[in-house]
């Protein structure tokens, strides 16, 4: 197998792993692998239609990465202020305590801000749960999407 094809597949594998590792742009790494392979085949494989589909999947994954948690928080009833404060606290805690601290900090912050706003523990807990589950679900979706990029790329290289 061509070394560039192996590198492209390696990038796609790193992309799948990268969507789980904080601050690694996994989807963009996966797309880079696809584009590298396309370039190495003189723009013949994958076909333009498949290439466009894979790049689109990568872009959708990036959007989910950046906005999945916010969408879930808003769907759960969180205010814009709660969403912004939760994201900021979660981002800071990500560096201090890692992914678990991010999730727990996000949930606690969303609960605290919503409880301060509405003095309703049940509603605040529901909103915090929606937000936390939404962040986790967006990660699962990102794994599935970058995994599909990997599968298609491997299929293109092997077959």
Which of the 8 DSSP states describes residue 46? S
Shortest CA distance to 30 belongs to which of 148, 149, 142, 143? 149
Shortest CA distance to 61 belongs to which of 2, 124, 144, 134? 144
User: What would the pLDDT profile of 17-28 be if each residue is shown by its tens digit?
Assistant: 999 987 889 999
- Cα 57 to chain centroid, rounded: 12
User: What was the pLDDT predicted at 119?
Assistant: 95
More confident residue, 35 or 76: 35
Domain that holds residue 9: 3-158
The number of domains in the chain is: 1
User: What would the pLDDT profile of 66-118 be if each residue is shown by its tens digit?
Assistant: 888 888 888 888 998 998 898 889 889 888 888 888 899 999 999 999 999 99
pTM greater than 0.75 (yes/no): yes
User: Would you tell me how many other CB atoms lie within 10 Å of the CB of residue 120?
Assistant: 12
Handedness of CA 62, 64, 68, 69 (dihedral sign): negative
In degrees, to the nearest 5, what angle opens at C-alpha 104 toward C-alphas 130 and 68?
40
User: What was the pLDDT predicted at 70?
Assistant: 83
- Which ranges constitute the DSSP H helices of the chain? 3-18, 26-40, 48-76, 80-118, 121-158
The answer to whether the beta carbons of residues 135 and 99 sit under 8 Å apart is: no
Shortest CA distance to 38 belongs to which of 28, 50, 25? 50
């Amino acid at each position: 197998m061509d070394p560039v094809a192996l590198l492209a597949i390696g990038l796609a594998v790193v992309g799948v792993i990268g969507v789980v590792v904080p601050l690694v742009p996994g989807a963009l790494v996966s797309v880079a692998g696809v584009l590298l392979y396309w370039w190495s085949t003189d723009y013949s494989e994958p076909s333009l239609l498949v290439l466009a589909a894979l790049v689109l999947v990568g872009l959708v994954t990036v959007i989910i990465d950046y906005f999945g948690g916010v969408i879930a928080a808003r769907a759960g009833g969180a205010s814009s202020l709660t969403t912004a404060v939760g994201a900021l606290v979660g981002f800071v805690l990500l560096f201090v305590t890692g992914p678990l601290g991010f999730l727990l900090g996000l949930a606690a912050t969303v609960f605290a801000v919503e409880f301060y706003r509405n003095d309703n523990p049940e509603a605040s807990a529901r909103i915090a749960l929606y937000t936390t589950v939404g962040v986790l679900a967006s990660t699962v979706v990102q794994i599935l999407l970058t995994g599909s990029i990997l599968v298609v790329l491997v299929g293109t290289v092997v077959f």
